[in-house]
Structure 1
Amino acid sequence: MNTLSPARVRLALLALALGGFGIGSTEFVAMGLLPNLAADLLPQVWATSQEDAIAQAGWLISAYALGVVVGAPTIAALAARFPRKQLLLWLLAAFTIATVLSAVLPSFGLVLVARFIAGLPHGAYFGIATLVAASLMGEGKRGRGVALVLSGLTIANVIGVPLITLLGQSAGWRIAYLAVAAIFAITFVAVALAVPFQAGDKEATLKRELAAFSRPQVWLALLTGAIGFGGFFAVYSYVAPVVTNVTGRDETFVPIALVVIGLGMTIGNLAGGRASDHHVMGTIFVCFGLFVLSLTAFALTAHTTVGLLVSLFFVGGAASALSPAVQSRLMDVAGDSQTLAAAANHAALNIGNSLGAYLGGITIAAGLGYLSPSVVGLALCIPGIGLALWSVLLQRRRPLRASGL
């Protein structure tokens, strides 16, 4: 990689981030279009109870997240030996096809399956792309390389998700998903042209990659991200009904709320990446503290427009700053299983996605109101902080070795 010009490196990083942009769009566009999905795919439930229909439509978010959980460790462990660029291209092709299926299949059950399939390449793409980016960035800039790839996902929440939400509200949610599929097709071309060849890890074996799961510190890092990040998705999954039913704004205000979340996510992601290059665990604890404060502010002030926007900005920022820190922590503790560790982070975060969306939907369906998921988020932060503390205490007793514990 040392022979690449700075311009070529920037183009390669941009192409990798564009994949993150597509992934952010396909994962998060359902949040803004959840009422539209519920009304179209579950018309009988919608006619009886809109709250029940929205809560059930939230399964689409959970299905995608579960696809990530299944696909990330499986694909990463099996494909660590393969050339990285070619693997990225196969994953992007899978994204494109699955997103088209999400747009055209006729029933809720079939769309649910398509969303599960669309989630399968998610973690492997980010895992491999962050390894490529870290290699391109060079020594001492790993966290920033991870953050640059993830920046595509966060920028999607500033630009892609709000615009695609507007498109879906005006032309239908199916057109919105076709637009996302087009983003993946463009990314395929960009990666093919801009990303240099990188060999896979020829020494990698399924047994060696899976050995990461024998390390307690790996499980602690994964669980910290999964449980803690669930608080973000408990809130984010139900932003649209909060805007219309709690804050009292009409549907056209939903994209504005999504832009604000996206801005917070983008700034938080870059700040978290830079901070984790200096002190990984310190960054994790600071993020959790900010997360608790922002979720509390959301629960208390979301009935006003200013309170809604300010609290959503900080909810998005605190959660996204956590992601590169947990990713870096996993790379520290995974030893030789770097491909699996990089991908497993996204499996963990999407366990949080699924858990948060599911638990938030339960509280809404139980009649506790659209702000009740914020209480779920706060409850999930507590074990997240506890797991991070456990990791620190364990490290003091048994310091990490070069091989990773």
Structure 2
Amino acid sequence: MRVFQINTFCGIKSTGRITTSIAQLLEKQGDECLIGFGAEDVPPMFQYYAYRIGMPIGRKVHGAIRKFLDMEGYGSSLATWRLIRKIEAFNPDVIHLHNLHGCYVNVKMLFRYLKERGTPMVWTLHDCWPFTGHCAYFDFVGCEKWQAICDHCPQLRSYPTCLWWDGSRRNFRRKQRAFTDIPSLVLVPPCHWLEDLVKRSVLRMYPIQVIENGVDVTVFQPAPDQVCEALRQRFGLEDKQVALAVAADWDERKGLRYLLEVAPVLDERIQLVVLGLTQTQIESLPTGILGQNATASTQELAAWYSLAQCLVNPTMEDNMPLVNLEALACGTPVVVFQTGGCAEVVDDTCGRVIPKGDALALAKAIMEIASQKESMKNACLVRASHFDSQVTYQKYLALYKELCQ
């Protein structure tokens, strides 16, 4: 069996790691996989699977079109033409789509080709962009226009950011034409929260199968004490209880402002550590918060999770964040807001789910959980075992085989 995956990233960030996990499982059983990706570099260990879609200059031009004309997904014509040629040469039995935003592919061209080709398709929906006229999420502003038709977008300045023209109505219609009437397409949301949204969207005619995100428990596992102690000494945290927060991009929806609110009221023994900040964000942090850039090392990230008393994830809009699973797999309880699919992973045995936006309740939960890590550690590991990527992503392989029959 030959599978061609398409995603913004390959081998990095949450969606990129999902694509390579699937590729490795396919390879183990003697199948072939190629991953077409559009952004950033690929770790050396995954370059065997990778095919770069387009060039950086093409993404910049596409980004300019998006920035001023709200046309995410409608540039990159040459890159998409070459991608189509690559798909033809690889001749896959299944095509697996992931995130198609990120200024690297022309969705109109791609889907016209995919409809003509008729290859069975799987589309993992990592966010809501496929069925809105602009945004990737809409919970933050409570918008419901996507259920009928998008227009006068209240989130034009949110990702994918546009500074001038509101093309949400046009985009909605274009997506509706491009993404419907596709034979042999199965949609895969990673949580039931997103499944419910899809069933109310313009994509509701397709079969849906929930396949949860998985965590590599061979990488994300409790780190040795000496590794954690070395990390503590490196950052002067020897006498502190660490409350850790991790994100790839700390934009508004990720809830950084709630961390700024809770930091002053936390017990003085608790040190709030935030990973994934830009240098500008780090320089603007108040005293009491230790900010760091993102770490490229999964081993170091696992060590951070392991030494922390809890992971704090104040995201206001999300699907099924991998950081929650990664922390649990390292034996660390998680404190989250009631948003997206977070509550489908975290319960009172392995953390706390807090009403969205309640900073006081968030602070209380952090202080409560920080003193209970050892008693909750085993429950965290058991919970994480249900999301072992070796198990969850086997469901994709079973789905591929079913579609090929």
TM-score range, shorter chain: under 0.3
Q: Which has the higher helix share?
A: 1
Normalised by the size of structure 2, how large is the TM-score? Answer: 0.25
Q: Which has the higher strand share?
A: 2
Normalised by the size of structure 1, how large is the TM-score? Answer: 0.25
Higher relative contact order (CA 8 A, sep 6+): 1
Larger radius of gyration: 2
